[in-house]
Structure 1
Amino acid sequence: MATSTTTLQEPFVELSHWNRNRSSNKEANETIPRFSRENSGPDGEDVVIQQLLPADGGPAAWRLLIAAFVFEALLWGFPISFGVFQDYYSKQPEFEGSSQIALVGTMAQGLCYLGAPLSAMLTKRFPKYHRQQIWVGWPICIGGLVAASFTSSVGGLIATQGVMYGLGFIILTYPIICMIDEWWIQRKGMAFGIVACSSGASGAVMPFITSALLEKYGYKTTLQATAVAMVLLTGPLMPLLKGRLPPSEQSAIARVNWSFLKKPLFYIYALATLIQSLGFFFPAIYLPTYATALGLSATEGALILAIMSVSQTLGQFAVGFMTDKKFPVTGLVMGCSLMATIAVLAIWGLAKSLGLLILFSIIYGFFASAFSPLRVGMGRAVSDDPSAVVATYAILSFCQGIGNVLVGPISSVLLSQRSILDEYAISRFRNVVIFTGGSMILSGIVVIPWMLWPRQKGAGSSPG
């Protein structure tokens, strides 16, 4: 006997087409428990009626958000704290002198950016397999750390701690993002803000733990201990990672309004994002090494990274709030780029003490990290369509990933082999500092033509 799903009238949701009509039913599903029953339809069909658990609150929604917070804090917090490993690897005999060490961290992070469009598309295309995606990506991540502990070459670290880890993370992260999107509707900004905070919170703690483990036990034991800790801390949370909406039997990619591709402003934003990304990642990777060259301890180097992580979290919240309040996105791009440039060229380049490096990490972390929340504002500036905002976000993430992956090759050209404390950026990092500052200011300059370009009033979607 055939079975069909009924179309429920308000205040219910039409479950069989949720992905197409979800935006028009946001208020429809706030306080309804899930259950299902079968009735006989007019044509003798079995009619299955399904209802949903409450959104924007309730035990299930909070359990999912807590699990997502922990996954993000541990699995994304690890690669963004790679600067501690960078400093350690550069002093080990088997890796010393290699100009490719930075590729380990940049590949782990870069794949998460470069793979964003493809991962988002596949996650949307196969909603029935979200949990299976997580079960595939999770062991790849952890396996990458275990495999890295058995390698003794930079190439092996790039393949395991870099590529393998990054691949696993991008496979598992977008299903979790989709689950958050389902459970949190009216309070979506709060939910994603909490998850975004997690990496900053872990970034304030993880460098100290990692640095202490590396100094006492070496990288092999540290990687194995990290893998075990991730299994113990995230494994029990796997059952909590569940979507709110029933998976569609006929998967379909949501329609996207691609008209933003015809707007010059989108390409200006994409170019600004790409240019900014070329220099953005250098401080997080090289600050511990820079601190060591000044005679500071590994713990002090970890402290600098921790402070930068906290500052990044505050900056992302502040800039995200301003974009929600309709501050001009182009003006925010220029202002943040200018402040980041000043921090790099006037503070980092002249820093010869822990105090100045901490000051740099606060200012740079706050303003340079702003391009992440600005991607949402950029999407709104080029299109009013919510689906287009998601598409622009993925494309701009891809642009940032290009710069991330290029950090390794670029740094191998820019870094000098000798350190002279009395010279600008202690000589060894002079080219890195100048390149980073140049990319920051140029990312702000490229948006100036849009502010000067005459255009019809009201043509844009929102203040650009």
Structure 2
Amino acid sequence: MDDAIEIPEIALASTLNTTTAERPDALDGQSFASASQQRHPPADEGWRAWTFCACALTYETMIWGWNSTSGLFQQYYQTHTPFNKSSAATLSIIGQSSLALQYIELVFLVLVFQRYPEYAKLSMWISLGICVASLIAASFVSQVWALILLQGVAFGTSAGVLYGPVIVWLSEWFITKRGLAGGIIFAGSGIGGFVFPLVVGYLLDSVGFRWTLRAGALILVITCGVAIFGINPRIPPRMHSMPNHSDRAPWLPRDLSPLKSPLLYWTAGTTLVQALSYFPVSLFIPTYTASINSATLPTTIVLALFNVASVVCYALFGRLCDSYPYQYIILCSGVGSAFAAFFLWGFATSLALVFTFAIVFGGVSGGFSGVWLPAASAIGGTRNEITTLVFALLGAAKGIASIVGPVIAASLHNSHEQNSKTMYGGFGFRKVELFVGSMAVGTVMGALGLTFSRRKLKK
């Protein structure tokens, strides 16, 4: 179809560290591509490119898989000393601050690593050390504020730096096969989202949160420590000698006119509203499940189903965007999420219904991010530095919602009715379900606004 997204043939992001004579404005596309192939490892093929892909998949699995367990830690802290005296809203800050920082700081990291690429690798090693140290330190504390600082802020900030170069260098290694590589890499969040809840749930039930955090630190340092050797730029950064940094890439692209497009505002706004619907469920679905059955296994299973459904639909949505306008996919996501929230979750009084809701909502809502790359490509066109920046901006919008959404949901949850099994909106979650469903309806409105804007721009 006319609205299908075409992946650019020239990866402009891979030219940020080349000399003026090597840049696309000095050579035509064919000559530039030929010169680049002679000087550097080929894009889209070869063992180095696919090694990068495999190691980035490992990063995605480990980092975002660990992030997916925040709901389990939330449930554990609410029901175990010495943290159970704190409110659900306060405890939600631990996991959500970590997520928010990783999303929001991506914009800053993209700009920094594009301008100072020679520091990216060193930053990865340092941030890995901070990630591990923060989890180990968190395992010794007994105050909620310390968990927020260590397991939340310190881990989230360092994990974002650890992961940032993957986004920057992906456009260097893969051009025509970028969609395939991105699908493989981002599938790691679903793999980790399925495995980690099962492992962490078992550990929390068996050895408590202290040894669970230590085990998580050990797993991260081994897997990411090995994978870091395979995550490298395709074009090695050259040394910059000019004291005023005039030979470096600018902090911001010189032409920012694509960022003035109404498509960006509509997409970012819709992403924010959609995430306000998604994160309260991802955080509180274990708590809701525990209200029906307090055993550990159902809460871990529901979160695993929620996450694995997300990755399946993430890949599906990305593939559908190759054939249909991405705003249509957003529309389907919003409609499906609203139906799941208002009806499946509203009437869920058994584990079977909760599991069904987790699969449906986790899929249609969790897969929403699959439209980001097509949307960013529609805004940035062949300018990959703009596409990468737009992708990061959408992540920042989701990061803001990852803090705001759970806080609102926690304030709406009626803890006095947490043992009340009513026909609709049981266990004190009625207002939460209505909020989640309303934000899903807002996602539908955003999709309609995008459709109108795109048609207006074509006239």
* TM-score of the aligned structures, taking structure 2 as reference length: 0.87
Q: Does 1:24 align with 2:32?
A: no
**Of residues 285, 290, 293 in structure 2, which corresponds to 1:292?**
290
**Which structure is richer in relative contact order (CA contacts within 8 A, separation 6 or more)?**
2
Query: Could you tell me which residue of structure 2 aligns to residue 283 of structure 1?
Result: 281
1:74 aligns with 2:62: yes
User: Which string of whole-angstrom CA distances, capped at 9 and with x for unpartnered residues, describes residues 31-73 of structure 1?
Assistant: 65xxxxxxxxxxxxxxxxxx22233232222222222111221
Name the stretch that deviates more: 79-88 or 340-349.
79-88
CA contact (8 A) 2:78 2:84 kept: yes
More displaced, 419-428 or 448-457? 448-457
Residue in structure 2 matched with residue 64 of structure 1 by the alignment? 52
User: Is residue 384 of structure 1 aligned with residue 389 of structure 2?
Assistant: no
Q: Is the 2:409–2:435 contact (alpha carbons within 8 Å) kept by the matching residues of 1?
A: no
Structure 1 residues 154 and 19: CA distance shift in structure 2, 3 A: farther
Tell me how large the CA RMSD over aligned residues is. 2.4
Supply the distance in 2 between the matched residues of 1:18 and 1:239 (Cα, whole angstroms): 31
Q: Which moved more, 1:109-118 or 1:227-236?
A: 227-236
Correspondence for 1:302? 300
Pick one of 315, 321, 335 that aligns with 1:338: 335
Q: Any idea what SS the aligned residue of 1:324 has?
A: coil
- Partner residue of 2:159? 169
Q: CA deviation at 1:191?
A: 1.2
Amino acid at match of 1:392: V
Does the aligned pair in 2 maintain the 1:200–1:313 contact within 8 Å?
A: yes
Gaps of 5+ in 1: 1-12, 33-50, 460-464
Residue of 328, 344, 361 corresponding to 2:358: 361
Q: How far has the Cα of 1:90 moved from its partner? A: 0.9
For the structure 1 residues 187 and 448, does the alpha-carbon distance in structure 2 shift closer, same or farther, using more than 3 Å as the test? closer
Separation in 1 of the partners of 2:137 and 2:406?
A: 21
**Deviation at 1:20?**
4.5
What is the alpha-carbon distance in structure 1 between the residues aligned to residue 77 and residue 457 of structure 2?
A: 55
Tell me the secondary structure at the aligned position of residue 369 of structure 1. Answer: helix
- Which position in structure 2 is the counterpart of 1:371? 368
Equivalences for residues 234-245 of structure 1 within 5 A: 234-245=224-235
Distance 1:96 1:344 in 2: 28
| Contact 2:341–2:436 under 8 Å retained in 1 | yes
CA deviation after TM superposition for structure 1 residue 252, in Å: 0.9
Cα shift at 1:302:
0.9
Instruction: Select 2:410's aligned residue among 388, 409, 412.
Output: 412
DSSP 3-state at the match of 2:84: coil
| Deviation digits for residues 216-275 of structure 1 (CA, Å, limit 9, x no counterpart) | 111011101111122122223332222221213343137364223433332222221111
Does residue 154 of structure 1 match 2:159?
no
Residue 131 of structure 1 pairs with residue 121 of structure 2 = yes
**2:278 is equivalent to residue 273 of structure 1:** no
Taking the aligned partners of 1:19 and 1:397, their CA distance within structure 2 comes to 31
Q: Are 1:90 and 1:96, in contact at CA under 8 Å, matched by a contact in 2?
A: yes
Report the Cα distance in structure 2 between the residues aligned to 1:127 and 1:457, rounded to whole angstroms: 36
**Residue in 2 that maps onto 1:349:** 346
Separation in structure 1 between the aligned mates of residue 431 and residue 176 of structure 2, nearest angstrom: 47
Q: For residue 207 of structure 1, report the CA deviation from its aligned partner.
A: 0.7
- Partner residue of 2:243? none
2-side partners of 1:364 and 1:196: how far apart? Answer: 19
Question: How far apart are 1:124 and its partner, in Å?
Answer: 0.7
- 2:458 maps to which residue? 458
Q: Distance in 1 between matches of 2:219 and 2:21?
A: 38
Is contact 1:288–1:298 with CA below 8 Å preserved after alignment? no
2:262 is aligned with 1:264: yes
Secondary structure in structure 1 of the residue aligned to 2:129: helix
SS of match in other structure, 2:82: coil
Letter in 2 for 1:330: Q
SS class of match (1:279): helix
List, as ranges, runs of 4+ consecutive aligned residues in structure 1 with deviation greater than 6 Å: none
User: Are 1:193 and 1:317, in contact at CA under 8 Å, matched by a contact in 2?
Assistant: yes
Quote the offset at 1:16 in angstroms: 2.6
Counterpart of 1:6 in structure 2 is none
The answer to which structure has the higher helix fraction is: 2
* In 2, Cα distance between equivalents of 1:285 and 1:240: 33
- Are the structure 2 counterparts of residues 156 and 67 from structure 1 closer, same or farther at C-alpha, using a change threshold of 3 Å? same
2:396 is equivalent to residue 398 of structure 1: yes
Give the 3-state SS of the residue equivalent to 2:249 in structure 1: coil
Give the Cα–Cα distance (whole angstroms) in 2 for the partners of residues 454 and 101 of structure 1: 41
Question: Is 2:135–2:151's contact at 8 Å kept on the other side of the alignment?
Answer: yes
Cα separation, partners in 2 of 1:375 and 1:240, compared to 1, 3 Å: closer
1-structure distance, mates of 2:378, 2:37: 34
* Contact persistence 1:127–1:251 (CA under 8 A): no
* Paired position in structure 2 for 1:40: none
SS of equivalent residue, structure 2 residue 343: helix
Aligned partner of 1:8 in structure 2 is none
How many Å separate the matches in 2 of 1:457 and 1:219? 53
The 3-state SS of whatever aligns with 1:352 is coil
Distance 2:382 2:41 in 1: 27
Based on CA coordinates, which of the two structures has the bigger radius of gyration?
1
1: CA distance, partners of 2:35 / 2:357: 47
| Contact residue 68 and residue 176 of structure 1 kept, 8 A | yes
After TM superposition, the structure 1 = structure 2 runs for residues 217-232 of structure 1, keeping only pairs within 5 Å, are: 217-232=207-222
Q: Provide closer, same or farther for how the CA distance between residues 137 and 453 of structure 1 changes in structure 2, counting only shifts above 3 A.
A: closer
Tell me which amino acid in the other structure corresponds to 1:458: K
Show structure 2 runs of 5+ residues with no match.
Answer: 1-14, 241-246
Distance change in 2, residues 1:211/1:233 (3 Å): same
Q: Which moved more, 1:419-428 or 1:211-220?
A: 419-428
Aligned to 1:83: 71
Which amino acid counterpart does residue 346 of structure 1 have in structure 2?
A: F
Classify 1:449/1:187 alpha carbon distance in 2 versus 1 (closer, same or farther; 3 Å): closer
Amino acid paired to 2:432: V
What one-letter code is carried by the residue in structure 1 that aligns with 2:62?
Answer: L
Q: Report the alpha carbon displacement of residue 196 of structure 1 after superposing the two structures with TM.
A: 0.3
